Every structure is written in C-alpha cells, then in structure tokens.
Amino acid sequence: IFHPNVHFRTGDICLDILKKEWSPAWGLLSACRAVLALLSDPDASSPLNCDAGNMLRSADTLAYDTTAAMYTMENARFIAWPPPLDQDQDG
C-alpha cells in the first residue's frame, strides 16, 4: 500500500494505539476504526514511507494519487470468497 503511515516493504503501521499506547481496553473494533481513520486521513508529519510523506507535505496530490494508483494496479488482487464450486466434480 502506498501511504505515508504504512511501511512499503513490511506493512508496519505508524499508529500509537497499536504500539506504545496499546491497552486491552481499546478492543478490536476500536483498533480497526483507528486504522481506517489513519488510512483515510494520512499523517505526513511522521511517515514510514518518506516518498509518500514528501508528496503530501509538498501538496503534490497528483503525484501521490498517481503513485498510489500505480501501486494498487501492481499489487491489488481480487480473490473471490468463497471460492467458486468446481463444476466438474460429482456430488
């Protein structure tokens, strides 16, 4: 994923509640909401992906959007779930 707060190689996410601020009181739903909020509203001030952070800090949204679209086209895969039934199998 091309995002300033996601490391492009490891997928690590720069989000305090997943690291030093984590507490069982957060719960899974709160953690998922926090990740979705971060993905929707990137924080370019402390990027894990410096290229993405620099593009956003310099307000080069065209370069950011184009690069993000390129990463999506290269890496995104559609996986149908559940897998289709094999039509050739008996029973």
- Told to judge if 32 belongs to the known catalytic residues of this protein, a careful annotator would answer no
Is there a contact between 71 and 29 (Cβ–Cβ < 8 Å)?
A: no
Active-site choice (14, 44, 48, 56): 14
pLDDT at residue 89 greater than cutoff 80? no
Task: Read off the pLDDT of residues 12-65 as tens digits, 9 standing for 90 and up.
Answer: 998 888 888 888 888 889 889 999 999 999 999 889 999 999 999 999 999 999
Q: Are 3 and 39 in contact (CB under 8 A)?
A: yes
> Of residues 21 and 88, which shows the higher confidence score?
21
Which option is the CATH number for 1-91: 3.40.630.40, 3.10.110.10, 1.10.10.10, 3.40.190.10?
3.10.110.10
- Cβ count near 35 (within 10 Å): 16
User: What pTM, to 2 d.p., does this model score?
Assistant: 0.72
